[in-house]
Amino acid sequence: MRGRCSDSDIPLNPAHGAEDDGRPPRVGLLAGWGRFPVVVAETLARQGFQTYCIGVRGYADPVLAEVCHDFHWGSLARFGDAVRYFRRHGVTDATMAGKIHKTFMFQPWFWIRLLPDVRTVRAFAPHFLFRRKDCKDDTLLGRVVELFAADGIRFGPATDYAPELLVKQGQLTRRGPSAHEWNDIRFGWQLAKEMGRLDVGQSVAVKSQAVLAVEAIEGTDECIRRAGHLCRAGAFTVVKVAKPQQDMRFDVPTVGLGTVQTMVEAGAKVLAIEAGRTIIVEEPQVAEFADRNKLVIVAVRDAEIVAAAAETLAANPVQ
């Protein structure tokens, strides 16, 4: 039954129906911070999945215990426990949703305070203890996926289960970008793509084709707040894109009500996101809030930006 919390019973690809023995299909959910994991869990429930959820303690929303078939609080540094939980319940397909803020990695003695289990130490010692490998988002999350795969648990994109969460191309608000706002979007887009390629961050804030702030480990909201502090005049543009090498299983750019609320507080006016590769959580509420506060939200495809840049270059060739 839903809402059961425990620490202790073979799903299919999302395209499959019920399991061979007649039981509902099972899926694992590794849940971090934010509303996104809750929306994924609700979608899975509507589709008839039994969701076995590990909520990362200190990050996941407790409401997941009411939405999922079975819920278990987990630690960032006890992946052995997480693997055993999924295996105990016969979970072989899983997905992850929600943010883990990397700032914890730069607190004093964080490794010891997390009390990692043996499996976690073996997997991440090259990154955190011996410093032989980097700590980029893709590197660490890829290692998490490999760790579960070694025990037969395959992680797939959350958008395989909820493709409707990927934003469609077009204008989401009543007002669209002005000509100079489009210039800032194109300018910021190229910078954001390059930052993504380097696996630094996915968002930039710009105004008058000047960079105000670039997202790093602090996350999009803090990047927007910093831009607002530096640009007291406001009316700046935020661009958030997928990495060129984006792995859709994790760290997919996500926008929700919190993002646009932060924009209003900071004085931003325009949000440009990548169509088809950005998750927007509760889009109707986001669009309604944006319209009420006179924000602009537009979803653009990378090809549009590339084509526009080519046209500009053709019209103004470099001498």
Same domain, 284 and 224: yes
CA distance 317 to 309: 11
Residue 315 above 80 pLDDT?
A: no
Q: How are strands ordered across the β-sheet holding 296-300?
A: 170-171, 296-300, 270-274, 237-240, 203-207, 210-214
Q: How many CA atoms lie within 13 A of 264 on its CB side?
A: 12
User: What CATH number is given to the structural domain containing 255?
Assistant: 3.40.140.80
Output the CA angle 223-180-265, nearest 5 degrees.
Answer: 35
* Number of domains observed in the structure of the chain: 2
Residue 318 above 90 pLDDT?
A: no
Same domain, 190 and 277: yes
Last residue of a domain, one of 101, 127, 160: 160
Backbone region of residue 209 per phi and psi (left: phi > 0; alpha: psi in -120 to 50; beta: other values): left
Same domain, 78 and 116: yes
Which residue, 171, 185, 184, is CA-closest to 291? 171
pLDDT (tens digit per residue) in 251-304: 899 999 999 999 999 999 999 999 999 999 999 999 999 999 999 999 999 888
Same domain, 83 and 196: no
Bridge partners for 5 per DSSP = 71
Which residue, 187, 157, 149, is CA-closest to 270? 187
User: Average pLDDT, stretch 177-181?
Assistant: 96
pLDDT the model gives residue 19: 52
Which residue, 164, 119, 123, 116, is CA-closest to 143? 123
DSSP string covering 120-161, please? HHHHHHHHHTS--S---HHHHHHHHHHHHHTTT-EE--GGGT
Same domain, 229 and 298: yes
pLDDT (tens digit per residue) in 49-100: 999 999 999 999 999 999 999 999 999 899 999 999 999 999 999 999 999 8
pLDDT the model gives residue 8: 36
Last residue of a domain, one of 133, 160, 187: 160
When pLDDT is cut at 50, 70 and 90, the band that residue 13 belongs to is very low
Q: Which structural domain range is residue 16 located in? A: 4-160
Same domain, 137 and 204: no
pLDDT the model gives residue 306: 76
Last residue of a domain, one of 111, 132, 160: 160
Spatial neighbors of 304 by CB under 8 A, at least 6 apart, are none
Q: Give percent of the chain with pLDDT exceeding 90.
A: 79
pLDDT (tens digit per residue) in 180-224: 999 999 999 999 999 999 999 999 999 999 999 999 999 999 999
